[in-house]
Every structure is written in structure tokens, then in C-alpha cells.
Amino acid sequence: MVQSSVLGFPRMGVLRDLKKANEAYWADKISQEALLEEGKRLRLAHWKIQKDAGVDIIPSNDFAHYDHVLDHIQFFNAVPERYTKQKLSPLDEYFAMGRGHQKGGVDVPALEMVKWFDSNYHYVKPTLQDNQTFSLAENPKPIREFLEAKEAGIITRPVLVGPVSFLALGKADRGSSVNPISLLDKLVPVYVELLKALKAAGAETVQIDEPTLVFDLAPEVKAAFKPAYEAFAAAGDAIPSLVVATYFGDIVHNFDVLPAFSAAKGIHVDLVRNPEQLEPVIKQLGPSQILSAGVVDGRNIWKNDFAKSLDLLQTAIKALGEDRVIVATSSSLLHTPHTLASEKKLPTDVYEWFSFASEKVKEVAILAKAVTNPEAVRAELDANAAAIKARAESTRTNDPKVKERQAAVTPEQHNRKSGFDTRYAQQKKHLSLPLFPTTTIGSFPQTSEIRVQRNKFTKGEISAEEYDNFIKKEIDLAVSIQDELDLDVYVHGEPERNDMVQYFGERLNGYVFTTHAWVQSYGSRCVRPPIIVGDISRPAPMTVKESKYAASISKKPMKGMLTGPVTCLRWSFPRVDVHQSVQCQQLALALRDEVVDLEANGIYVIQVDEPALREGLPLRKGSERDAYLEWAVNSFKLATAGVEDSTQIHSHFCYSEFQDFFHAIAALDADVLSIENSKSDAKLLKVFIDEAYPRHIGPGVYDIHSPRVPAEEEFKQRIEEMLEFLRPEQLWINPDCGLKTRKWDEVKGALTHMVNAAKYFREKYANKA
Ligand SMILES: Nc1nc2c(c(=O)[nH]1)N[C@@H](CNc1ccc(C(=O)N[C@@H](CCC(=O)N[C@@H](CCC(=O)N[C@@H](CCC(=O)O)C(=O)O)C(=O)O)C(=O)O)cc1)CN2
Ligand SMILES: [Zn+2]
């Protein structure tokens, strides 16, 4: 019999229940018991959804109150001393690592949080010491949750991040220099202890995730698999059997690692991303090893094409036999929304094209039956074929006008009229900016008042005019505060935007959007990615009204604010029927019109944000990366190059790893770049001298993720450090990202100090000149 399996289920619940419970607990509105009870309720509900769908292998320990990697940090007792010494309850210590803790005399910042592979999910980085030790926490979470499910009558397959990936995804703590992978010998025995305990509790199999296998691995990381998995093999029957799971890429380039898993029961591979790895992987399996075939997409919301999946599954069964193939999701379903059933406003034809997590678990179960006995699920197969056909034939997907315009794109459209020196000379005259110009990244606090008014407008409780007037008042407030702060380039504050991507999706043809399709981004923060269903075009200006109004009441240059084509694409659910480069170029053309319209309406500084440009970089070096960089950079240039030399194009990136990516950022040819650098060493800026970067740069001078207001001295010191690497006439002074998650008093305090520091250097350098 072919079995079905799910690698992980989303945690938030139907109505973002977990977000609400966590935030209520943080605000002291509910007790710790109430929060833990809510977690338990959600886990049970999610197991039941999978059981009722007929899934054979259901995961446990995939749930997390904040992040699953953070769970491992805690149950392996790898919590840095700055947290343990606070003697908080385990739950509070856990949240302190996730989001910092400032309460009752305790003041510790959060651990670093970074992107999970190429997704918009963020995990907490294991932060390791030179003298790091590991041990198993008392009553560790994987055991607790396994028993919880068992009590409810479900024998689950616990999920663990494997030891090599756990270490490889970590880093040395500040002040330590340990190479994380060198800690393997200390960590593996603790895994063995945990696996033994799981076996004793009744677990037959464990899913052990080693997703780093899709990367190009450093030799010492690659070499770590053998000793780790030999230690597991040596434990024999004392531990459950293991299925080693990989996802988000292919593992063919790491086949020399596979012998390390010879004692494992099976290997899971992502056949959505890389179907071509199926046959080579089959050849690599040991004589009785199982293939877990990831055919149902964990990263996107399209209904599975059963005919296509069944083809892959048949190939596997022919080679391995029914008992050695498991039908699975490609990855955890963490990256998909909870259920399509909540969507009451989708066009009916389009509704039939999608599957969210609760529907995907049914697909896995149906495929497992269909592959050996199609007649048993004939109705489901027919309905699926009809839905796939309807989408293929839909007129929604095709817009001949968009295609015509794409066919007519010329190389010249990607280039500004003149080089930077000529442009800058004109911009200087036109904008009359001082040395060390100050600005912000776009958003100002999204207050609860703003959310309430938007919600009322969405529900029809206030009219469009009332909502517009409210937004105007918010812009008035933002402008008057910037007057007081004496900033140099203003922003309107983005009060009209629910989210920097969703907002644009809602204004473009070719998109549909949802009402409840939330996906966790980090901790309790969620996003509702809009869905690209067809060719994209712009029916009308999207931001001109607000920017024009803001400019009309402002005595300084007003910066227009757009989300770039790559970020719009990456933070949406893209189509899978045309290449992403095609969708990105369509977005670029729509944004190009917006940029030109902003300019025509008196906006002469325009920022096009691309924070997802780096995240979209293919995980492995090589030709795929080069191809991505070419179309991604071209899309940005196409979107922005339609303006006069005197109009200044800014772009913003909020991640610090720009070194390996420098050439792509430089190739964008933006007049001004703002980058997140506040948490890293200013030395990283050296690349800008080494590469003789000619244009202007605003490395974030402070971290907006923290409520903390840095002193004026800290700003001065930071700027002083930056001036070691950047020329004074090149340097802008700005925060490291938008201020939407902050409160107004924090913003005013920090920006006052920031502007004062800029003025200090302005004076100092004026005297020098
Ligand atoms: N798409 C995207 N990805 C990103 C970022 C980003 O800004 N956008 N930033 C980086 C970090 N990730 C982030 C992700 C989410 C949030 C965030 O603040 N999310 C908000 C939701 C934002 C939103 O869409 N809000 C809507 C809907 C608000 C809402 O909750 N409405 C209630 C009803 C209104 C109420 O009574 O509160 C509901 O629908 O239930 C709005 O403002 O209109 C949240 O989780 O709280 C921040 C950073 C990387 N990835
Ligand atoms: Zn940002």
C-alpha cells in the first residue's frame, strides 16, 4: 500500500488564533496556562484535520509558539546564558530569545532572526558559544507533543531538524569564534537520547529534516553527516527509524553524502521544485529504502495537477514497488494559508484553482489511493482534471495587450538617459539637498486607529470619502511631524497601505486577493500574500493621489514610495504556468507607468523597495543564479529608468548580507541606496570603497525593530564609523527600514537624535570645506 504523509502543518489556526493568543499573553491579557491551552487546542485541531483527510503519516513537533528552530535551541539546552540567568519561566525565556524581554528589571535583546532558505518565513538562529554544551531539557517538547497526540488516538511521526542542519544554520555568538559544525560530537549524543525517548514513548518513525543538503556545502559540513548518522545507526532498534527530509531544492550535487543515511528508512525529496531529481534519487536508494515523494507543493496555493503527480509517482512505484513509495507534501505546509474554505469573496471560477493547507492534506491522501486504485477516487480525479483544464483555458490568465507590450520592450528602456554624474548634477540643482541629507524609509507607525478605520472601510461601515479624509489627516500629521523634526526628504508615511505587497496586488489586474489567507512571516507576524493568476497590468495609478497630496502640503521634496517588481513577485503567490521572469517583467512595466506618473505629478524623488531581491537568489551558485540576477536586475531597471535625469531614484534593501550580492545592487543603477546595516559592523561597508561605488548610500543608522531610542552620541559614533568607508558627499542618514511597527514617541525620539547627529556632521564638514 502506498502511504500518504504531511511534513508539517501551519500553526496559526483558522483566524490567526495563535497570533492573537501569543499577543494577548505578551500584553498580559491572558495567563500562561491559557496560552498553553490554546496551543494544545490548535495542535489537536490540526492533527484532526489531517486524520479526517485520510493522511497516514501525520507530523508532530511541527507546531511552535514562535519558531521551530527556537524550540530546538530550548529543548537541547542551547540557550545563551544572558537568558538563562534571568530565571524566567521556560515559556518567557523562549519568547525572550524570540523577541527580546523588557519587563520587571530584565532587559535582553532577541536572538538574530533570518530568512528560512528562500522563503518569507524567518527562523531564530542558533547562537553558539566556544564552550557550548548540549543536554536534553526535562520533558522535552517532541515527547510531550507525541504523547499528546497519542492520547488523542493519533500515532504521529515527530519532526526534528537534523543535527547537521541545526548547526549549519547557526552561528557563533558575539565574542565566540566557534565553527558551529565543530560542535557535532557534543550534540549527537543528545539527539540519540531524544530519539531513544521518542521510541520509548511509542514513536516508530521520526522525520529528520536536513534541508541544508540542497545547498553547496562547506567540506566540513558535508563531512559531518557521516559520523552523525553512523551514531544513529549504531543505536539500532533503540531509536525510531528515520526518514531524512530535504526540500526547496535538489540534492543531486550532494549524492556523495547519501551513503551516510544507509541505515535510514527513507529519504524525502522535493519533486515540485526539482522533479528531474526523481530518477537519479531512485538509483541512489539502498535496496529497501523508501522514497518520500514530495509532489504536493508546500510553498504555493495552486491545486495539485493530479495527472502530473501520478506520472511521477508511477515512475517511482515502477522502480521501487508500492511499499517503498510515500506520497508527501514537498515541504512543510507552514508556507501556505490554513484553509480555502474561509474565502468567501474569491471569484467562483478562481476558487476552484486553489488548495490551501487543509485542502492539500486531502490531495496527498487522494493521490496515495489513486496511484494504485484510481477507480476508488474516480470522482476526485475527474473533478481535479476539470479544474486544471478550466484554469488552462481561462481568459483570466491571458491578456494579449500585456504580451504585446512585453514583446516590444527594448534594451534602451532599461537605461537612464545619462550616467550618474550628469544625473546627480541635475538632481542637486533641482532638489537642493544639504550634505548628509536625512530621510526615512517610507512607513510611519501603523497605529491601531489606522487599522480600525481601514477595517471599517473594508466592511463598508464608513464611505470611501470618509476613509480618504482620514488618510489625508494621517498624511497631514506625518508631514507636520517631519517639519518639526526638520528632515530633508519627506515621506507620506504609507498610512493607506495594509502591507507593502498586498496593497499593490489589490490595485493590479492579474491578481486576486484573499480575506483570511494569512501565512506566518515571523513570530506572531503574518502576511496575506496576494495571488497572481494572470497577466499583470495597471488599470489606474496606484499611489499618485496620496503622494501628490503629501507633496502639496510639504515644503521639502516628497519621496514617492513603491514596492519593486521582484519584491511584489516574491511576496505574492506567483503563477506556475509561466516563468517568474515573465511575471516580473509585467510587474516592472506596471510600476514603470507608476514611476512616470509620479514624476508627472511633481514627485521628483522616488524610492522603489526591493527587500526580497536577495531572498530570491537561487540557493546554489551557478547558472541559475546568474539567470535570476539578470532578469531581476533588468526588471528593476525597466521599472525605474523611464524618468528624467533630474528625478532621483532610491532603492531600499533590508538585510545586511550585501557583500556576496554587491554587483547586483550596483547594477540597479539607483541614485541612492538605503541598506540595513545597523546591526552589523560598519566594516562591511568597505566593499563600497573596494568596488569604487560611485553613487549615494544610506546605511541604516539604527535598528527599527527595537523600541529602544538610541542616544545622539550613538548616532554620531555610527556615522563617524561610516565615514571611514564612505565619502561625505555620498552618505545619507536614515533608519534601517520602515517605521510601521514602531510607536510615534519612539519614532520622534529616535529621529530627533538622528537629525541632530546629521546636523553636527554637516557643520563639521562645512567648516572643513
Ligand atoms: N509581505 C511582507 N513581507 C515581509 C515584510 C512586509 O512588510 N511585508 N517585512 C519583513 C518582515 N515581515 C513582516 C511581516 C508582517 C508584518 C506585519 O506587521 N503584519 C501584520 C499584518 C499586516 C496587515 O496586512 N494588516 C492589515 C490587516 C490588519 C488586521 O489584522 N486586520 C484584522 C481586523 C482589524 C482589527 O480589528 O485589528 C483582521 O483581518 O482580522 C491592515 O493593516 O489592514 C500583523 O501580522 O499583524 C511585519 C513584518 C519581511 N517580509
Ligand atoms: Zn525594509
**What pLDDT, on the 0 to 100 scale, is given for residue 769?**
57
pLDDT at 656: 62
β-strands 266-270, 525-527 pairing? unpaired
Helix (H) or strand (E) holding 509: strand 509-512
- Return the residue whose CA atom lies nearest to atom 12 of ligand 1: 521
The closest ligand to the CA of 494 turns out to be 1
Q: What digits encode the pLDDT tens for the residues 242-282?
A: 999 999 999 999 999 999 999 999 999 999 999 999 999 99
Q: Which ligand is closest to the CA of 447, given by its number?
A: 1
What mean pLDDT value characterizes the chain? 96
SS (H, E, C) 303-346: CCCHHHHHHHHHHHHHHHCHHHEEEEECCCHHHCCCCHHHCCCC
**Given the C-alpha cell 512543510, which residue does it identify?**
332
Does 655 have pLDDT greater than 90? no
Position 52 scores a pLDDT of 98
All cell numbers assigned to 330: 514537498
Question: What three-state secondary structure class fits 601?
Answer: coil
pLDDT of residue 682: 78
Cβ-in-10-Å burial (0-12, 13-18, 19+) of 563 comes to buried
Q: What is the pLDDT of residues 50-100, one digit of tens each?
A: 999 999 999 999 999 999 999 999 999 999 999 999 999 999 999 999 998
Among 72, 101, 652, 705, the one annotated catalytic: 705
Note the pLDDT of residue 252.
97
Give the distance (Å) from ligand 2 centre to CA of residue 675: 8
Q: Please answer whether residues 613 and 676 qualify as being in contact, where contact means their C-beta atoms are separated by less than 8 angstroms.
A: no
CA of residue 588 to ligand 2 center, whole Å: 19
pLDDT for 369-413, tens place per residue? 999 999 999 999 999 999 999 999 998 999 999 999 999 999 999
Probe residue for ligand 1, chosen from 17, 498, 525 as the CB with the greatest number of ligand atoms within 8 Å: 525
DSSP state of 557: P
* 636 closest CA partner among 694, 588, 705: 588
User: What is the model's pLDDT at position 659?
Assistant: 74
Is the sign of the CA dihedral 41, 42, 43, 48 positive or negative?
positive
Give the distance (Å) from ligand 2 centre to CA of residue 490.
Answer: 17
Residue of the nearest CA to atom 25 in ligand 1? 498
Residues pairing with 519 in the sheet: 527
Nearest ligand to residue 451 Cα: 1
Banded model confidence at residue 107, pLDDT cuts 50, 70, 90: confident
Which atom from ligand 1 is nearest to the alpha carbon of 455? 34
Work out the average pLDDT over 163-175.
95
How confident is the model at residue 68, as a pLDDT?
A: 98
**In this predicted model, what pLDDT tens digit does every residue of 423-453 receive, in sequence order?**
999 999 999 999 999 999 999 999 999 999 9
Give 577-618 pLDDT, tens digit per residue. Answer: 999 999 999 999 999 999 999 999 999 999 999 999 999 999
Residue with CA at minimum distance from ligand 1 atom 16: 525
Grid cell of 212 as nine digits:
541544508
Ligand 2 centre distance from Cα of residue 409 (Å) = 30
623-643 in b/e form (b: 16+ CB < 10 A) is: eeeeebbebbbbbbbbbbbbb
CA 612 – CA 24 distance, rounded (Å): 30
The Å distance, Cα 524 to ligand 1 centre, comes to: 10
Q: Give pLDDT, residue 622.
A: 87
Q: Taking phi first (over 0 means left), then psi (-120 to 50 degrees means alpha), and beta for anything else, what does residue 105 get?
A: left
To test the pocket of ligand 1, the residue of 521, 613, 614 to mutate (highest count of ligand atoms within 8 Å of its CB) is 521
* Three-state DSSP class for residue 653: strand
- ipTM for the complex shown: 0.95
Task: Report the pocket of ligand 1 as residue ranges, CB < 6 Å.
Answer: 120, 446, 451, 454-455, 498-502, 521-522, 525-528, 571, 741
Atom of ligand 1 nearest to the CA of 446: 42
Nearest atom of ligand 1 to the alpha carbon of 515: 39
pLDDT given for residue 671 in this prediction: 98
- Strand 266-270 and strand 290-296: the pairing is parallel
Q: Whose CA is nearest to atom 29 of ligand 1?
A: 451
| pLDDT reading at 621 higher than 90 | no
Per-residue pLDDT at 104: 87
Other Cβ atoms closer than 10 A to 24: 16
Asked if 551 and 603 count as a contact pair (C-beta separation under 8 A), the reply is yes
Q: Residue 690 C-alpha to ligand 2 middle, in angstroms?
A: 25
d(CA 498, CA 500): 7
Can you tell me the distance from the alpha carbon of 638 to that of 433, in angstroms, rounded to the nearest whole number?
27
- Ligand 1, atom 46: nearest CA belongs to which residue? 525
Q: Which residues surround the ion ligand 2 when the cut-off is CB under 5 Å? A: 611, 654, 737
Q: What are phi and psi of 119, to 5 degrees?
A: -105, 175
| Whether 650 is catalytic | no
